[in-house]
Amino acid sequence: MFYYLMPRLVDIHGVFNVFVYISFRTAGAVVTALVIAFAFGPTVIRRLQLADVGQVVRDAGPATHLEKSGTPTMGGLIIITAATVSTLLWARLDDWYTVLALVSLLWMGAIGFLDDYLKVVQGKTRGLVARYKMIGQWTFGLSLGAFLIWQPISTHPTTWTSVPFFADFAAAFSAPVFVVFTGAVISGSSNAVNLTDGLDGLAAGLTAIAAATLGIFAYIAGRVDTSAYLGFFYLPGAGELTIFAFALAGGALGFLWFNSHPAEVFMGDTGSLALGGALGAMAILLKAEFLLVIVGGVFVLETLSVIVQKGWFKYTKRRFGEGRRVFMMAPVHHHFEKLGWSETKVVNRFWIIGVLFAMLAFSTLKIR
């Protein structure tokens, strides 16, 4: 919105010309998202408490988590509201990158909200049936892929995507494969963040790191000079995605104020599915789907730990008649808790690993 007010404001004073610059609007988006989260958070938490929307903690989890039972959940509404309002205020709304990223956040957030509502309000332990949740995720992913083919948003071939560490090589898909690929990326990223959301502040902090990293890549892709120098795809208009990415990071950091240990509120599936879907959508729009594996390295490791645990348990049960485990508990953050690490130590160390993965992602720009 501020971008469209700029011509009138410039007539008042030339200083308002700064609203043209993506860097200025990105800084404004971060601060705005933080302020909205700080201001809106207490109200949301009170409303959730009054509605008795409390988290249900499994008995199978770490014993220290039982005391968290009843903590308000569905706090992802704080992040979604902060990121959405901030983006609407600071980004150009005639840019497809911004619009599609926002739609991904809201669509996946709606799926997560329905799941949380069924679990904590309707009292259905399983929440939204897994296959219906997957249908919702895949519907958006497939629709996004089909839309990008039908309505290309850049001059670059829609079905091409960059390959980390290679400047002059791109992976090219056929149209049907590309559509399925986008569905897999959206579903995989949203579920990966969902699996990671098991400790106070873990998913929020890692999302802020990943979103900011993708935001920097969006800025690079949106500049013809920088993208050419670094050998990255030039995607006109992608720079606006920087604003959304940092608004999302700001919303996540603002939520972290209330979600840090001991958490006053949990994001629930409302937040985790929305954040994961938004990260996946940004990666698709930036043609950086494979790069997302590095940027979200911790999310990937968390998901792999669950896959390995379940796969090994089923295999050994079929082979030896008794299921065996690779980890003491999956996802892997619970394994370290079982080893005796405090919750805050696990979270802080996983954040550090998240930053290292971000640095590795940036290194792909020069190691080619």
Quick one: pLDDT at residue 132?
A: 84
Quick one: pLDDT at residue 239?
A: 93
Q: Which residues pair with 52 in a beta bridge?
A: none
For residue 37, pLDDT beyond 90: yes
Quick one: pLDDT at residue 7?
A: 56
163: its two tokens: 């390959």
Residue 167 inside a domain? The answer is yes
Quick one: pLDDT at residue 348?
A: 97
Distance CA 262, CA 271 (A): 18
- Secondary structure E strands in the chain: 160-163, 166-172
Residue 368 inside a domain? The answer is no
Say whether 88 sits in a helix, a strand or coil: helix
Q: Give the predicted TM-score (pTM) of the model.
A: 0.93
Spatial contact of 74 and 250, defined as CB atoms under 8 Å apart: no
Residue 352 inside a domain? The answer is yes
Span 261-287, pLDDT tens digits? 999 999 999 999 999 999 999 999 999
Spatial contact of 256 and 205, defined as CB atoms under 8 Å apart: yes
Report the mean per-residue pLDDT for the chain. Answer: 89
Quick one: pLDDT at residue 13?
A: 52
Quick one: pLDDT at residue 308?
A: 96
- Boundaries of domain holding 14: 2-363
Residue 212 inside a domain? The answer is yes
What percent of the chain is predicted at pLDDT more than 70? Answer: 88
Residue 11's pLDDT band (cuts 50, 70, 90): low
Query: Among 57, 48, 362, which residue's Cα sits nearest to residue 210?
Result: 362
Going from the C-alpha of 249 to that of each of 180, 201, 230, the distances in angstroms are 28, 13, 24
Q: In terms of C-beta density within 10 A (0-12 exposed, 13-18 middle, 19 or more buried), how is residue 271 classed?
A: buried
Residue 140 inside a domain? The answer is yes
Q: Which residues pair with 72 in a beta bridge?
A: 54
Residue 226 inside a domain? The answer is yes
Span 181-198, pLDDT tens digits? 999 999 999 999 999 998
One-letter amino acid of 125: T
Say whether 133 sits in a helix, a strand or coil: helix
Residue 272 inside a domain? The answer is yes
> How many separate domains does the chain show?
1
